[in-house]
């Protein structure tokens, strides 16, 4: 029984963590918390079903096309909901514009896809019981995402440029870095990470329009727990959230899961407002 709780908790936690990373990647280049993050995850599942089950494409092709499609949605989000706000309006209105974009995506999926949970294809056909691929694929996807992102950020010029923009966008622009293009690239990468979350978690959590709002909500928790912009923190926060949720569901009952989760979440934030793994930022006065 403990194995079942851990397997499900870690798998759902890995999906939350990937959504948390989606938030972080978008935030790093734009200082925008985009509420489309959960919807990008939901789209990963939806595109997976469409490409693999409806269009009968091979799993690998469906996977690549899903990531590309979600990256495209990320870019469109940047153009439609973020760029105009950052250029012309009060910066904090991105809350409204990205929320509107998220609702738009959700409604389109409800109309064009389905309002009911839809089946997701069996991807590799490996494992059974608590070692079934539906439990470990999201964890592998999370590890791969964090590995690739860390490598890019630490070892490539592109990654250094990202860090520069995230650190001080004015100084980075003064040095000639193409801030707009880098921001668009960050939304494309975030889209792909979100798509990866939905695709890897599809066998467990199905292709379901309601996943979008749920993941936007629960995906934000690892960001706050792990510290804004801290991907490693998001992974640990996400996994902890998933396991805690399953344990609460099991011992307290489904009706108390959300309450228990947010009681702990608020308690942690009161104790460590910068997140468990975030650092206190110095402020120039």
Partner 1 sequence: MPITRRDMLLGGGLAGAAALARPALAQSAPIRLGWLAALTGPGSSAGIGFDRGVNFAVNEINAAGGAKGRKIELVTRDTQGDPTKCVNASVEMAQRLKVDAVWGPCNSGEALACTPILARAHVPQIHPCFVDTLIDTTKYPNAYRIACSNQQLGEASSKYVLEIMKVREIAIIGDTTGYGTSTVQAYAPTIKQMGGNIVYQALIEASQADLSADVIRMRDAGAKVIMPWSVNGGLLARLLNARAELGWDVPVVGHPALGSGEVKALLAKPANWEKVYLMGFRSCSFDEGGKLPQRTQNFVQRISGKINLADTSLWWVACGYDVANLIAKAVAESGGASADDIIKAWNGLTKYPGIYGDYTYTAQQHNGYPTDEIVLSAANSFRDGAFALAPGYG
What are the residues binding partner 1 (CB under 8 A)?
Answer: 1, 4-5, 7-8, 11-12, 115-119, 128-130, 135, 204-206, 208, 210-211, 214, 246, 249-250, 253-255, 257
Smallest distance from partner 1 to CB 46, Å: 14
Q: How deeply is 111 buried, as exposed, middle or buried, from its count of CB atoms within 10 A (0-12, 13-18, 19+)?
A: exposed
Smallest distance from partner 1 to CB 150, Å: 27
Cβ atoms of 199 and 66 within 8 Å: the answer is yes
> 10 Å Cβ neighbour count for 202?
30
Nearer to partner 1, 7 or 69 (CB): 7
Smallest distance from partner 1 to CB 194, Å: 18
Residue 85: strand, helix, or coil: helix
Smallest distance from partner 1 to CB 217, Å: 11
Q: How far apart are CA 146 and CA 139, in angstroms?
A: 11
Cβ atoms of 62 and 123 within 8 Å: the answer is no
Nearer to partner 1, 250 or 277 (CB): 250
Smallest distance from partner 1 to CB 19, Å: 14
Cβ atoms of 176 and 165 within 8 Å: the answer is no
> 10 Å Cβ neighbour count for 82?
22
């Amino acid at each position: 029984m403990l194995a079942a709780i851990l397997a499900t908790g870690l798998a759902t936690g890995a999906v939350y963590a990937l959504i948390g990373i989606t938030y972080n990647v978008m935030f790093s280049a734009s200082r925008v918390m985009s509420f489309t993050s959960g919807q990008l995850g939901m789209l990963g599942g939806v595109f997976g079903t469409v490409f693999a089950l409806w269009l009968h494409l091979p799993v690998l092709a469906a996977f690549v096309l899903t990531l590309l499609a979600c990256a495209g949605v990320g870019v469109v989000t940047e153009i439609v909901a973020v760029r105009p706000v950052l250029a012309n309006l009060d910066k904090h209105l991105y809350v409204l514009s990205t929320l509107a974009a998220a609702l738009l995506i959700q409604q389109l999926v409800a109309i064009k896809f389905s309002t009911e949970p839809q089946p997701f294809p069996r991807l590799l056909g490996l494992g059974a019981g608590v070692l079934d691929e539906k439990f470990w694929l999201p964890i592998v996807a999370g590890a791969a995402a964090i590995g690739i992102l860390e490598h890019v950020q630490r070892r490539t010029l592109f990654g250094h440029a990202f860090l520069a923009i995230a650190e001080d966008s004015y100084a980075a622009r003064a040095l000639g870095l193409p801030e707009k293009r880098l921001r668009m690239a960050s939304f494309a990468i975030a889209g792909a990470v979100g798509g990866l979350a939905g695709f890897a978690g599809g066998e467990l959590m199905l292709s379901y329009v309601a996943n979008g709002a749920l993941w936007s909500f629960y995906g934000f928790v690892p960001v706050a727990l792990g510290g804004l912009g801290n991907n490693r923190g998001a992974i640990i926060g996400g996994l902890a959230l998933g396991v805690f949720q399953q344990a609460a569901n099991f011992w307290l009952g489904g009706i108390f899961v959300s309450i228990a989760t947010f009681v702990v979440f608020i308690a942690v934030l009161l104790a460590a407002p910068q997140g468990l793994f975030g650092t206190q930022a110095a402020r120039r006065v």
